[in-house]
Amino acid sequence: MLVNLDPNDGRPLYLQIMDEVRRALAVGTLRAEDPLPSVRELAAELVVNPRTVSQAYQELERAGVIYVRRGQGTFVSPTVRRSAGERRSLALAVAKRALLEARRNGVGVEELVTMIQKLAAREDE
């Protein structure tokens, strides 16, 4: 599972991990019953304290996104489904981060939108 943490993001690392798991579910790279890395494996991969990963996993478990099978590991809940609402939420979060970063760098909304459209057009070629 690919998890990217942003050290410049003001949110706690455990929230970033939770959001990355939810993003993977929304885009379909994680599906119901897929295994997640162990707490130690993911902590080593991300170079974070295992308690950080454990906290993220506990919160995701409370939310019904994942579950633990004793002795076997952590898995995506069988009831988790991709939804249009999750994709909209994901798109909104990406847009907010892009806008925040643009503002930090003195880039206006129109310029940001224009550059995104130009980039998208290049990728479509």
Q: What local confidence, expressed as pLDDT, does residue 36 receive?
A: 97
State the span(s) of the chain assigned CATH 1.10.10.10: 13-76
Residue of 51, 40, 52, 33 whose CA lies nearest to 20? 52
Q: Is the pLDDT of residue 26 over 90?
A: no
Looking at every residue in the chain, the average pLDDT score rounds to 89
What's the CATH code, domain 13-76?
1.10.10.10
Distances (CA, A) of 8 to 11, 13, 22, 117: 9, 11, 20, 25
Count Cβ atoms below 10 Å from residue 103 Cβ, excluding itself: 12
Q: What is the pLDDT of residues 49-82, one digit of tens each?
A: 999 999 999 999 999 999 999 999 999 999 876 6
Lowest mean pLDDT segment, chosen from 7-21, 52-66, 87-101? 87-101
Taking residues 2-18, report their average pLDDT: 90
Q: What pTM does this model have?
A: 0.70
Give the percent of the chain with pLDDT over 70: 93
Cβ–Cβ under 8 Å, residues 78 and 66 = no
pLDDT band, very low/low/confident/very high, at 92 (cuts 50, 70, 90): confident
pLDDT of residue 8: 86
